[in-house]
């Protein structure tokens, strides 16, 4: 493993078995189905895809909030999937999570002081009298004051609650934060404030982020590399600027074509995908995207595409790119 790699995910699977009753076989939901990627120290790596593609399950499985079905998760070289609970708990001090819903993720019966004190107590950080000072400093960093210490979550706006959620994750000075749709429940007007706070904290504390979102405008603004997920699989990985300038996978092209344009002079042809996202209970054979792909070939119906790696590290899983010499390659670039 590269020494710059903080998180490594290899062939990770998370399947759920659902009982159907006495005489019927159980259903297997392939929420995450054999994905691999790595996150470098100090970068912001995005997982993007439509709702239900497995990106949130990936985040929870990495932290073992839900146990993986198969595969490897390494953090700083340590195998997370094999750790006994006591050591996993210690590791969680270094790997934190920020949740989507700032209304649900803060205990309504606890004051802000109690909410921020809890992780320090659980992980036995600092002497008792130093903890309060640490909390006050953290509140200042997130743009709030000591006067808020004894208030309850319902007394705050959505943006302020998410700031508190972020403070709770950062107060332990972790190396790595998984942020699962951290701004999607917020008004557009406060989204950029929370994103800028996350970027400032990244600089100040040297944080590495795994940023999970369905919102490509946010991803373009704040991430370094992106993995695109579709039905539990990763279909494309690239540096953010490469992905937005020259997306390769037909699914990525469609997602990017739907991002609202920022300048009236810009022109963009929108690719409208037909059909619903198939169910992960019974994903299509071959390339799982073939039922909605405007470029689908005969081979796509039965054969799972291999990964093609380009010189700049950009990877794509699509038959159109499996052999660069084929005329298919030229075909997709002409669209
Ligand atoms: Fe479309 Fe085939 Fe590529 Fe899948 S493998 S994205 S169906 S062209």
Q: Contact, 91 vs 172, CB < 8 A?
A: no
The angle subtended at Cα 264 by Cα 260 and Cα 266, nearest 5°, is: 75
Distance in angstroms (rounded) separating the CA atoms of residues 310 and 204: 34
Ligand 1 lining (C-beta closer than 6 Å): 249-250, 287, 289-290, 293, 295-297, 300, 305, 318-320
Residue partners of 24: CB distance under 8 A and separation at least 6: none
Residue to mutate, 49, 236, 297, 332, ligand 1, most ligand atoms under 8 Å from C-beta: 297
For the chain, how many residues are written? 335
Residue 192 parent element (H or E): helix 188-205
Q: Does domain 5-94+172-333 have CATH number 2.60.40.10?
A: no
Q: Which pLDDT value is given to residue 325?
A: 45
Q: Which pLDDT value is given to residue 301?
A: 95
Atom 8 of ligand 1, nearest CA residue: 296
Please list the rounded mean pLDDT of every run of 10 residues in the chain (335 residues).
89 92 86 96 96 93 96 96 93 92 87 96 90 95 94 94 94 96 89 93 96 94 96 97 96 89 65 80 93 94 95 95 59 52
Residue to mutate, 294, 308, 315, 318, ligand 1, most ligand atoms under 8 Å from C-beta: 318
- Find the 237 Cα to ligand 1 centroid distance in Å: 16
Residue 115 parent element (H or E): helix 112-122
Distance in angstroms (rounded) separating the CA atoms of residues 166 and 322: 42
How many separate helices (H) and strands (E) can be counted in the chain?
Answer: 10, 12
SS (H, E, C) 33-89: EEEEEEEECCCEEEEECCCCCCHHHHHHHHCCCCCCCEEEEEECCEEHHHCCHHHHH
Q: Which pLDDT value is given to residue 211?
A: 97
Atom 7 of ligand 1, nearest CA residue: 290
pTM of the model: 0.91
Residue to mutate, 229, 234, 248, 250, ligand 1, most ligand atoms under 8 Å from C-beta: 250
Tokens of 165: 């959620």
Q: Which residues make beta-bridge pairs with 225?
A: 45, 239
For the chain, the domains span 5-94+172-333, 105-171
- Find the 296 Cα to ligand 1 centroid distance in Å: 5
């Amino acid at each position: 493993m590269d020494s710059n790699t903080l998180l490594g995910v290899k062939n990770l699977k998370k399947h759920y078995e659902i009982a159907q009753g006495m005489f019927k076989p159980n259903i297997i939901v392939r929420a995450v189905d054999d994905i691999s990627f790595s996150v470098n120290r100090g970068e912001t790596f995005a997982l993007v895809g439509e709702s239900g593609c497995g990106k949130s399950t990936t985040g929870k499985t990495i932290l073992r909030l839900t146990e993986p079905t198969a595969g490897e998760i390494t953090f700083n070289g340590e195998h997370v999937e094999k750790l006994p609970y006591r050591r996993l708990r210690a590791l969680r001090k270094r790997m934190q999570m920020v949740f989507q819903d700032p209304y649900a993720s803060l205990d309504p019966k606890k004051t802000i002081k109690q909410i921020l004190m809890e992780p320090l107590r659980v992980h036995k950080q600092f002497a008792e009298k130093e903890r309060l000072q640490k909390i006050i400093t953290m509140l200042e960093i997130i743009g709030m004051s000591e006067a808020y210490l004894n208030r309850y979550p319902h007394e705050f706006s959505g943006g302020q609650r998410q700031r508190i959620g972020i403070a709770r994750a950062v107060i332990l000075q972790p190396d790595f934060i998984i942020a699962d749709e951290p701004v999607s429940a917020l008004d557009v007007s406060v989204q950029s404030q929370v994103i800028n706070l996350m970027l400032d904290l990244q600089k100040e504390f040297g944080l590495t982020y795994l940023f999970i979102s369905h919102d490509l405008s946010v991803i373009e603004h704040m991430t370094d590399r992106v993995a695109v997920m579709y039905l539990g699989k990763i279909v494309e990985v690239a540096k953010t600027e490469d992905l937005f300038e020259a997306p390769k996978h037909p699914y990525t092209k469609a997602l990017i074509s739907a991002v609202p344009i920022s300048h009236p002079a810009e022109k963009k042809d929108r690719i409208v995908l037909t059909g619903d996202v198939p169910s992960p209970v019974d994903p299509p054979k071959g390339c799982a995207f073939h039922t909605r792909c405007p470029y689908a070939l005969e081979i796509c119906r039965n054969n799972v595409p291999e990964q093609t790696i380009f010189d700049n590290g950009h990877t794509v899983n699509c038959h159109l790119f499996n052999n660069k010499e084929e005329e298919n390659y030229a075909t997709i670039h002409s669209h």
